[in-house]
Amino acid sequence: MLENKNQEKTDLESLGEFGLIDHLTQNFSLTQKSTLKGIGDDAAVLDFKGKKTVVSTDLLIEGVHFDLSYMPLKHLGYKAVIVNLSDIYAMNAKATQITVSLAVSNRFSLEALEELYEGIALATKMYAVDLVGGDTTSSTTGMIISITALGEANTNEIVYRGGANANDLLVVTGDLGGSYMGLQVLEREKEVFKVNPNSQPDLEAYSYIVERQLKPEARKDVFELLNQLGVHPTSMIDISDGLSSEILHLCKQSKVGCNLFEDKIPMDPTVISACEEFKMDSTLVALSGGEDYELLFTIDQKEFPKIKGNPNLTVVGHMTAENEGAHLISRNNSKIPLTAQGWNSFAKHN
């Protein structure tokens, strides 16, 4: 995890902005038919041939969204792409292109940025998207990454947050809480390292949850699965800020309520054991942890037979009339109002 102090470093100033962009992007090739012109001109040229274009942007700031004391630069590059692609899949669209803009301080060498771009390149390869542009500039405070993702979809395929109806089933992909608990493990090891820089953490028992934090995956497979099953969600959102927060977004946009059943929330056994170790409530972690990048969507009850028994999908509740509000139905059958306690970038963080 720690940078090799003996490694020779190339000062970014020696390349200049355009030389840096040319160097970092020289090995990216174009794969999408919709990309007519990528990097190398004043702007990229894309042709979606009558399809709708879907666009999403995220900003990642060192010290707010990531900590380089335990986040390897290659993982950061990969994750920065993934969080944007997740938003495209949450629209039920196919991700096709990205742009990458980067601001870095003079403590970063060319070799450090090469590592970052290795991760970006791996993500573009794994998810078959083209890098078609971006920008680089200097920063006085560290690293800032901004990625824009583009995608395409037919008009009738796009799914918004506002289409859920009362009695629709609420479905979640994968399992929840892993990323947040992985973060707890990494933060704990960081504190141990501060006290004893020679300590080597043994993270094998936490490998699943640490990977959920450092190298999440966007659910392109679910986008493809729903198309294969002939399931058209009525509303959809990705789980970046915690389950409760995302449910409330769907409720607000769709003007419905919701009953979420605590005993249905999918969690990996390693998440539950980590919660016990850290003396945290596992349900609260799933509801408020965030950064799982799973998909949360609603379907008409008539479509339930199409997803029944699928290991990737879990029905966790159903939508209700708006005046009934959004509630968690606990294991002892009490009704608890859902509150948005997910990630708030404007809140004060320790």
Domains of the chain, CATH where assigned: 13-153 (3.30.1330.10), 169-337 (3.90.650.10)
Task: Kindly report the pTM of this predicted structure.
Answer: 0.89
Nearest Cα residue to 244 out of 278, 212, 292: 292
- Reduced to 3 states (helix: H, G, I; strand: E, B; else coil), residue 21 is helix
Question: Please, what is the Cα angle at 182 between 56 and 199, to 5 degrees?
Answer: 130
Instruction: Give long-range contacts, CB 8 A cutoff, 24+ apart: 28-36.
Output: 28/121, 28/124, 28/130, 28/131, 30/130, 30/132, 31/128, 31/130, 32/96, 32/97, 32/128, 32/129, 32/130, 34/96, 34/97, 34/152, 35/96, 35/97, 35/130, 35/132
What's the average pLDDT block by block, 10 residues per block, for the chain (350 residues)?
56 73 80 84 84 94 93 97 96 96 93 96 97 90 94 94 98 98 94 82 89 96 93 96 95 97 97 96 94 97 96 97 96 92 50
How many C-beta neighbours within 10 Å does residue 310 have? 14
pLDDT tens for each residue of 54-89? 999 999 999 999 999 999 999 999 999 999 999 999
Given this model, what pLDDT does residue 3 score? 44
Q: Which residues contact 313 (CB under 8 A, 6 or more apart)?
A: 171, 172, 173, 222, 307
Cα(186)–Cα(182) distance, integer angstroms? 6
Largest CA distance in the chain: 65
Tell me the pairing of strands 45-46 and 35-37.
Answer: antiparallel
Cα(77)–Cα(197) distance, integer angstroms? 26
Question: Please, what is the Cα angle at 212 between 206 and 215, to 5 degrees?
Answer: 115
Nearest Cα residue to 208 out of 261, 267, 260, 271: 271
Nearest Cα residue to 133 out of 256, 278, 35: 35
Are 245 and 340 in contact by the 8 Å Cβ rule? The answer is yes
Given this model, what pLDDT does residue 5 score? 47
Mean per-residue pLDDT over the chain, rounded: 91
Given this model, what pLDDT does residue 7 score? 62
pLDDT tens for each residue of 150-165? 999 999 999 999 999 9
Given this model, what pLDDT does residue 296 score? 98
Backbone angles phi, psi at 70, to 5 degrees: -135, 0
SS (H, E, C) 82-104: HHHHHHHHCCCCEEEEEEEEEEE
Given this model, what pLDDT does residue 17 score? 66
Are 198 and 291 in contact by the 8 Å Cβ rule? The answer is no
Are 259 and 329 in contact by the 8 Å Cβ rule? The answer is yes
Question: Please, what is the Cα angle at 297 between 79 and 256, to 5 degrees?
Answer: 130
Q: Residue 110: enclosing H or E segment and its boundaries?
A: helix 110-126
Cα(291)–Cα(211) distance, integer angstroms? 12
Cα(238)–Cα(345) distance, integer angstroms? 17
Amino acid identity, residue 316? Answer: V
Nearest Cα residue to 163 out of 340, 297, 316, 323: 297
Given this model, what pLDDT does residue 341 score? 67
Backbone angles phi, psi at 340, to 5 degrees: -85, 100
